[in-house]
Amino acid sequence: MIELEAKDGVARLTLCRPAALNALNHALTDALEHALDRVAAMDDVTVLVVAGRGRAFCAGNDIKEMAAVTPEAAAALATRHAALMDRFGRLPQVTIAAIDGYALGGGLMLAVAQDLRVASDRARFGLPEVKLGFNPGYGVARLLDVVGGGHARDLLLTGRTLHASEALRMGLVNRVVAPPTLEATIAALAADVAGAPRGGLAATKAIVAAIRAGAPGREPEHYGAALGTSAAARARLEAFAKRGKG
């Protein structure tokens, strides 16, 4: 269900249900939860790339499984998925979605749960729930934060599918590249981010998460802690100062 590998400070988590377009069934949800436990414990990993195998990033919830679910079970599964998406934001690692193909419904919300999103120009995005007679089960607040109210309502209320270029214009993704260059682009971006000390990245993620939740970001405290206790930050400052003198 999941492949997880790590090298040179970058981990890659791949959803592996290509025949089902990587749809989120109970088994894949279990696998994702266990994978995030492993990632959270990887002290030598600074960046996590999230991808899907085959022609989809993730097509959302498994429709075959949903067709037989009770209202109570549906609400419980949505609650579980909401908690899963929140966990990506709490990871100390910077997370990057590598989107090639479909990112629909819960799959789009999985992409939005990542810090950064890079898509190939054959990626397609949408929230088709309203066309099926129900609403997204989670992630609406995060979507509003990423793309703004007007664009979010467009996605939520029309159920239409977006081309990657339109997703870029509305800010749903950060970059769009040709399919053959997606992996190289992701690798270069991940390596660039992983080159920064992990402490500063984790603190910045924590600040953003706090502000988004309506709490103080406590930027001065994080800033002071980094300068006072981070050997990596201190070493880089000293090296920068020496270059300036030269």
Active site residues: 129
**C-alpha distances in angstroms, 64 versus 1, 54, 67, 145, 244?**
17, 19, 5, 31, 62
**Cα–Cα distance between 29 and 65 in angstroms, integer?**
13
Please list, residue by residue across 89-124, b when 16 or more beta carbons sit within 10 angstroms of its beta carbon and e when fewer do.
bebbbbbbbbbbbbbbbbbbbbbbbbbbbbbbebbb
**Cα–Cα distance between 48 and 51 in angstroms, integer?**
10
CA angle 87–16–75, rounded 5-degree value = 45
Number of H helices, E strands in the chain: 12, 10
Using DSSP, state whether 158 is helix, strand or coil.
helix
**Cα–Cα distance between 178 and 119 in angstroms, integer?**
9
State the pairing for strand pair 161-163/116-120: unpaired
